[in-house]
Structure 1
């Protein structure tokens, strides 16, 4: 058992594509799991190319990513150079604590509440409709307006970033990924019948918010500042002017009637996860942008293959069931403006300390369904950004800048993401392909592991993909990655590097479309409804390296399921986990995993789990918090002093309606409100360690 107070609960399994509620699938990703995967390339699954003796097997062995075994150029008990992680030395690193979590695991439940461990407390920090700008009106659910929503906290809340500014003040950034209009407006059916003001409200509820927080005394609790000037507070919406930067800016693929130069776009869509840069900016990532466009059937024929590869409908009735943003702004109709979709699907850089700055869509980081963009510094201080493309059978990417970061020089650093090289990952297992039948059984050597290579797609000056220009690689990145034979993965989402070891972790949320013959060592389970975690060690522990070793330390699910694996840890001492989504680390190197889909796979609310990934307790998963019914656990973010965990329970009550609510959280009213929550130890101890 995880601890004496928390006996392990055996959870029944429920079959549902992707594990989400039907409403979440509809509004968040346009029912992506109910359609064929867009990747129809003939890329080989890497298990198909096993030749018995791999040329790289001796160079990057499986054990390179296990505890206590070395990778190329890294000693057995390596300590990476200080430059390897820009946050190295922060978040408690160097305190000498063992990477073990000492809180009492929260029991799995279906309560309509946020539940935290014994000796912890929590409070709602900010909710949908709360004031952001000083002139924002109070939230009035019965009388919403687009003008008010543009000044209020948006709907849903995915990625969370926080910067403390001193004097008990801090700035919170939150993504507003998508809207569920059936829980926002009484009587809503779809965009075809919606009142135009409702569509405008939904558009204003997308984007992101920057809000000032104030610490409550010296605790880990924070509250929203609703008084005074609030200089930094800002709303970014679908209509906020943004700059297209990098090599693709100005290309014909990005030009429209409204922007003939192809350098400025209005707004961002479906921003999911993100990251922070060493120079203090936010990277917020556009994901399922495809669902906002109609008219694909009327787009030029030569544009349709690329639109289809990104999930944009190009035949049939593309307007039925859609939000119909085109009724307010015709740029969302691709029969009239076929290039508009090419202007979404990027990593957007936002400066939280300059409320008048224009956000920049960094084309050099590629265009796909970005789940996250997390930064690590190479040993020579070049900037490396890790990214996942959240789609079944899509890919893992990284960008390496060609210029070096300069500490304390915002002007030097602000252009680092516009020049460098974009890569996609190809993984190779070190066991015979016939050992993988989709059951999830470990191969004969006892590890899911192997080697990999980062394949260059383009630099800012040169394309490395035959038949593609630089701009075509960056706008049609999926097609370029198809062409070079990248490895098809099970929905790669957030990627995070450990501040202690430099190892990189990727959440692979699930893939119910993978058949037994498509199973391979990096994706060992068919009908993978529970997901798994990938661990990467780059050659020499240098983020700029093009070779790496990898392993799968965690195969998620119910511990009683023989297809699960927890780094070899005793499965009687771990909790069930399903659909890993967002990741973060504490300063002692423990991995924190938030989930998106547990209710549809394990019959329990989504949660925030934590697990050591080094030492003798590697694989010992515990549950730190659970979120309300229908909600996904987003965030998470652990403050630098390790006194606060921020989580963002997104889409509470998505399985219900206003007439029959599934959730009334957090206000006890019939309309649930997506919110951000702070969690802290009531005795002021570091989170996770008491």
Structure 2
């Protein structure tokens, strides 16, 4: 039996969730240090629900579901130390011996047969013994024709607009028919950290050029990648005709029920249908019709001079912003353009196969801090999209489309399929525990039945059709529901969750997994106390929810749920790993993005781990005798977060976001030397990991 992997100790001086103050400052505008936006009592509104019951029958469809395959993926860099092992060398080779399972052939669920990486604070991407890695693409590498090589001392907005963006998050790998050994990589660029981008950056007085570089570093990148069949290495193909950059100034189309509403019109866009740019794209998803989805998350921090009238529970500040963009474009100043913020916070759809296409923002999926947007199909071909709202005490949602997907790759078919997310019903989740309230004491102690579980209901908020939209929320119009979705969730009594982030349906079982990162405010002061779905007060480690739709139909309005994993130190009685022996799992804290491998194992990347180790990527079995067996596959460098995992048969991809983002760090005083060594600028990047012997991952 393998011994429990050691912990390193609790970090000191970090912000809630283990993040540095610098990360909180640039990524989310110090969200955790502001008042909790959700102050609603969430009383159950019986007349709203009763009025909605008769409408639910129209959403019924046939049986089993097809899960949208995203080509799955994840990535890493450097051979990992295990329990009792020495630290890896600078080139990423492993030292020391295994503490139990053997690489590739030892015990574990199929797909997870590797020696787990031990908790560590190595400034590298650390992977298991017997695995290799490479950096696929870094911030600033040219991908468009005419773009220059990266030069941090001479960077310009024009150059950045043709180069790979900053702080990659969500990743998708799509097939590229007719080009052997190549795939199309799509990446989100969530936010910029100007202190780590510009030498001598003055946060009180940024220059126009710095601001315009940051605009160009946001958004999305599409870039063709090519496999070296001899080694498994994956590299970018610059200047391919499908390579593309989408930035904070790219034209978007606003579609769906709120498009053209008075709520989204501005002086620059009196039609309310044309938006420039996408901001703070976090996780996303891949559609069955070959496009990618991207969630606009902490959009609030980019807008200055908000007020009670312009905020509507989204955390928009009343003064200047961190980046001071409002000095250079009035649309970021709500005192001048109060509706501009209503044009962000949506799910973006992007067609990576058509470089001339206009990306869309789908208002029918609601406006909130979308962490992700993952798609599955009903048996009759209608899309169902799951999305979490990444905020303390906020909700998770589901959209059930009313139009069926068409098959084919013609331009007309692709254009039709990109309208599928404009018509359907938006729901929010309400969860009920099955244990007496007295048994949920906030400590994480399991109730008498041995499990945190219960039932749930998807409450309809509004339905959009080709002829208009109907609200199911008393006191709100349909347009208000789609633009102020958080308020609609408040009114119908949705369940306040501990930062619902990525949501992923299993391609094997159809069960849906929800990553809940943490909530140190749970049960503190007047904030909501623990409940069975969020059973720990001051929850700093997070948990993973497993949801089973009624009859395994994604369009169902009823579901059963249980907590699959309650994260933290396995020695802590408050942790739970689906009943698997806790002396045989890796410690995990702050689950964020999730993905599945071909065997149905859930892979979890972490953000802000609170156990003293760097963030990492973990695989966990979801079924069979080893259900709950969790093993760490990699860790990321100093200050970094693990994002975007894609798990393929022979390759794992991850986005290494904000490396070196440590309090006090700057271009002049770097806190990391990754990925290019001392004397080089720290750069976010995408990493590929594969087995040295060329065999499948974890078998």
Same-fold call, TM > 0.5? Answer: yes
Equivalent residue runs for 1:257-656 within 5 Å? 257-297=267-307, 303-304=309-310, 307-314=311-318, 318-319=319-320, 322-408=322-408, 409-460=413-464, 461-515=469-523, 518-598=529-609, 601-639=610-648, 642-655=649-662, 656=665
What are the Cα deviations for residues 255-278 of structure 1, in whole angstroms up to 9, with x where unaligned? 000000100000000000000000
Q: Which residue of 2 aligns with 1:9?
A: 6
What are the Cα deviations for residues 454-494 of structure 1, in whole angstroms up to 9, with x where unaligned? 00000012110111111111000001111100000000000
Root mean square deviation, CA, Å: 2.0
CA separation of 1:146/1:23 partners in 2, compared to 1, >3 Å: closer, same or farther?
Answer: same
Q: CA shift at 1:100, angstroms?
A: 5.6
Comparing 37-46 with 486-495, which one deviates more in the overlay? 37-46
1:237 maps to 2:247: yes
Describe the SS at the equivalent of 2:22: helix
Q: CA shift at 1:219, angstroms?
A: 4.7
Give yes or no for contact 2:362–2:422 (8 Å, CA) kept in 1: yes
Q: Which residue of 1 aligns with 2:199?
A: 186
Describe the SS at the equivalent of 2:123: coil
Q: CA shift at 1:88, angstroms?
A: 11
CA separation of 1:633/1:292 partners in 2, compared to 1, >3 Å: closer, same or farther?
Answer: same
Task: Count matched residues.
Answer: 632
Equivalent residue runs for 1:204-223 within 5 Å? 204-217=216-229, 219-223=231-235
Comparing 549-558 with 510-519, which one deviates more in the overlay? 510-519
What are the Cα deviations for residues 538-595 of structure 1, in whole angstroms up to 9, with x where unaligned? 0000000000000001000011111111111111100110000000001110000000
Q: CA shift at 1:329, angstroms?
A: 1.0
Give yes or no for contact 2:111–2:597 (8 Å, CA) kept in 1: no
Choose from 85, 92, 106 the match for 2:67: 85
* Runs of at least 5 residues in structure 1 that lack an aligned partner in the other structure: 47-72, 74-79, 92-96
Q: CA shift at 1:99, angstroms?
A: 4.7
Q: Which residue of 1 aligns with 2:17?
A: 18
* Runs of at least 5 residues in structure 2 that lack an aligned partner in the other structure: 46-59, 74-107
Q: Which residue of 2 aligns with 1:250?
A: 260
Describe the SS at the equivalent of 1:472: helix
Describe the SS at the equivalent of 2:168: coil
Q: CA shift at 1:90, angstroms?
A: 9.8
CA separation of 1:666/1:180 partners in 2, compared to 1, >3 Å: closer, same or farther?
Answer: same
Give yes or no for contact 1:366–1:473 (8 Å, CA) kept in 2: yes
CA distance in 2: counterparts of 1:455 and 1:671, whole angstroms: 49
CA separation of 1:263/1:623 partners in 2, compared to 1, >3 Å: closer, same or farther?
Answer: same
Describe the SS at the equivalent of 2:23: helix
Q: CA shift at 1:13, angstroms?
A: 2.3
CA distance in 2: counterparts of 1:466 and 1:261, whole angstroms: 28
CA distance in 1: counterparts of 2:169 and 2:281, whole angstroms: 8
Q: CA shift at 1:11, angstroms?
A: 3.3
Q: CA shift at 1:132, angstroms?
A: 1.4
CA separation of 1:2/1:657 partners in 2, compared to 1, >3 Å: closer, same or farther?
Answer: farther
Give yes or no for contact 2:564–2:578 (8 Å, CA) kept in 1: yes
CA separation of 1:277/1:149 partners in 2, compared to 1, >3 Å: closer, same or farther?
Answer: same
Give yes or no for contact 1:84–1:542 (8 Å, CA) kept in 2: no
Q: CA shift at 1:220, angstroms?
A: 3.3
Q: CA shift at 1:83, angstroms?
A: 3.9
TM-score between both structures, scaled by the size of structure 2: 0.88
CA separation of 1:554/1:86 partners in 2, compared to 1, >3 Å: closer, same or farther?
Answer: same
Q: CA shift at 1:45, angstroms?
A: 9.9
Describe the SS at the equivalent of 2:450: coil
